[in-house]
Amino acid sequence: MKPRLKICGITRTEDALLAVSLGVHALGFIFYKKSPRYISPERAREIIIEIPPFVQTVGVFVNESREKIREIASFCGLNLIQLHGDESPLFCEKLGLACIKAFRIKDEHSIENMVAYKGKVRGFLVDTYKKDQPGGTGESFNWELAIKAKVYNVPIILAGGLAPDNIKRAVDTVQPYALDVNSGIEKTPGIKDKKLMEKLFAVWSKI
C-alpha cells in the first residue's frame, strides 16, 4: 500500500491549501510553545476552517495536560492527537481522543519501550533522537530500527529528516504506513517552500 503523507508544522493558510491541492492526507499543527513552529489555537482554528473535508488535522503536543489537549482539540476541530512527550500508556488510554504516540529512536531499547502502548494508540511515529529536543530535528536516524518497530503490528509513521531527495529511499527501506515531513520542505521554521513541496509530492506520486 502506498504510504500516506502528512505535512507538519503548518502555520500559514496558503501552505495548508497548497498541501491539500497536491494531495496531502493530513496536516499537523504544533501546540508546543517552545517549538519554532508553534501555532496558537486561535490561528490554527482559522486555518483549519479553510481545509476541506477528508483531510485529517493533527495536533502535536508535548507533556500537556489531558484537559488542555481536549480543550484545544475541541476548539480547533482536530481529528487526531500526536504526543511527543513523556506521556504514559495510561495517559494515552485515558485521553479519550484518537492519538499517535511519537518515539525518539536512539537504539533498540527505544523500540522495546513501544510495546506498552500497543492497543492504546492508533499509530507509532518514529523520529530521530536528539537530547532535549522532542521532535523537528531535521535529521534522519537508522531506518533499520524503524523496520524493527513493525513487529508490534501498529501502523508506523516515519519522521525525521525526510525531504524530496530521500523519501523514495525511506519508503523502499521501511515501507511505513505514512510519512511525516516538516523541515525538509521549509524556507524557515513554519514557512513552507512551494517548490520543495511540489517536488516532494511529485516524487511521492511516483512511489
Burial class (CB in 10 A: 0-12, 13-18, 19+), 84: buried
How much of the chain is helix, strand and coil, in % rounded to 5? 40, 25, 40
Q: Identify whether the C-beta of residue 61 lies closer than 8 Å to the C-beta of residue 69.
A: yes
- Catalytic residue numbers read 8, 127
Per-residue pLDDT, 139 = 62
Q: Identify whether the C-beta of residue 39 lies closer than 8 Å to the C-beta of residue 74.
A: no
C-alpha 95/C-alpha 66 separation (Å) is: 6
Per-residue pLDDT, 129 = 67
C-alpha 170/C-alpha 184 separation (Å) is: 13
What is the value of pTM for the model shown?
Answer: 0.94
4-205 CATH: 3.20.20.70
Per-residue pLDDT, 142 = 81
Per-residue pLDDT, 3 = 96
Average pLDDT across each block of 10 residues of the chain; the chain has 207 residues. List them in order: 96 98 98 97 98 97 98 98 97 97 88 94 88 60 88 95 95 96 96 98 96
Per-residue pLDDT, 87 = 97
Domain borders along the chain are 4-205
